[in-house]
């Protein structure tokens, strides 16, 4: 069994040699580090926990620091992995092993698991595909209503009756996605079709066949690169604050002019 953690970048298209156009999803996956190995004798299950991403060590709690003690990225002891996930394991892996997307091959079929986009509270038309009521002859405000939710004699509503409610933000697995291209220099894997989730969402890629061979990753992580990855959110929040302050000043000017 082969597996890896990645994040969704975006979608694009690839032209095959025969001219057909293939829609693909670009996924940045790996390098991943083994953070824990579970055995049936000790833990009751044979699995392995791997980590992906970059975060500074000072952001962790003390229990997290103890769990990830000795796990660094490219020899930098000030950073560690960010996203952790457990996979069933039949590979000969040990704590600290590192592997990249080179474990996969072009043309392989994989399954991708991720969280779908959250849609909030939605009605039955959008959530369950109800057709709605006819748009004429006195239906008025009943166009997107659910209609009857059951008979009156049973004195209760049956469980799992389709109604309005929270939609999205659930774990979805898409199977049998073909690997169209692999770009080891960018740690990118391109799979055919769409995968669940929004951009930058975490994805878990796996296949039942094959074995993982640990590799030596010679990539060095510079402080500049780390700062760029860590401070992206701060830059976005700063831009948002500037826009809000500008709009507030404009509103104040309008009030003064009145």
What 3-state DSSP class applies to 4?
A: strand
Grade residue 224 by pLDDT with cuts at 50, 70 and 90: very low
CA distance 23 to 33: 30
Q: For residue range 42-56, what is the model confidence (pLDDT) as tens digits?
A: 888 889 999 998 888
Domain ranges of the chain: 1-117+170-221, 119-167, 222-258
Query: Which tokens go with 113?
Result: 């698991």
Radius of gyration for the alpha carbons in the chain, expressed in angstroms and rounded: 25
Looking at the chain, the whole-number percentage of residues with pLDDT higher than 90 is 43
- Give CA angle at 142 (136, 143), nearest 5°: 65
Angle at which helices 232-257 and 223-230 cross, to 10°: 50
What predicted TM-score, i.e. pTM, was given to this entire model? 0.75
Q: Which string of DSSP letters, residue by residue, matches 119-183?
A: -EEE-HHHHH------SSSS-TT-TT-----S-STT-SPPTT---SEEE---EEEEEEEEEEEEE
Query: Which tokens go with 121?
Result: 């509270």
Superfamily name and number for 1-117+170-221: Translation factors (2.40.30.10)
């Amino acid at each position: 069994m082969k597996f890896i953690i990645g994040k969704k970048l975006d979608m694009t298209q690839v032209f095959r040699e025969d001219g057909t156009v293939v829609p693909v999803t670009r996924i940045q996956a790996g390098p991943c580090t083994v953070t824990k190995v579970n055995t049936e004798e000790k833990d009751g299950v044979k699995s392995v926990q791997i980590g992906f991403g970059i975060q500074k060590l000072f952001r962790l709690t003390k229990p997290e620091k103890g769990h990830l003690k000795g796990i660094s990225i490219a020899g930098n002891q000030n950073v560690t992995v960010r996203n952790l996930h457990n996979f069933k394991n039949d590979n000969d892996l040990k704590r600290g092993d590192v592997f990249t997307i080179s474990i996969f091959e072009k043309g392989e079929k994989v399954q991708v698991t991720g969280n779908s986009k959250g849609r909030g509270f939605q009605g039955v038309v959008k959530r369950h595909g109800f057709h709605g009521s006819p748009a004429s002859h006195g239906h008025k405000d009943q166009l997107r209503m659910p209609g009857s939710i059951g008979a009156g004699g049973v004195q209760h509503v049956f469980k799992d009756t389709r109604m309005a409610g929270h939609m999205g933000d659930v774990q979805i697995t898409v199977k049998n996605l073909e690997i169209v291209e692999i770009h080891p220099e960018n740690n990118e894997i391109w799979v055919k079709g769409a995968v669940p989730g929004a951009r930058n969402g975490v994805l878990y890629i796996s296949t039942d066949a094959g074995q993982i061979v640990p590799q030596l990753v010679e990539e060095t992580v510079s402080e500049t690169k780390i700062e760029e990855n860590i401070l992206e959110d701060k830059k976005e929040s700063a831009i948002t604050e500037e826009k809000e302050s500008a709009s507030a000043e404009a509103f104040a000017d309008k009030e003064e002019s009145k």
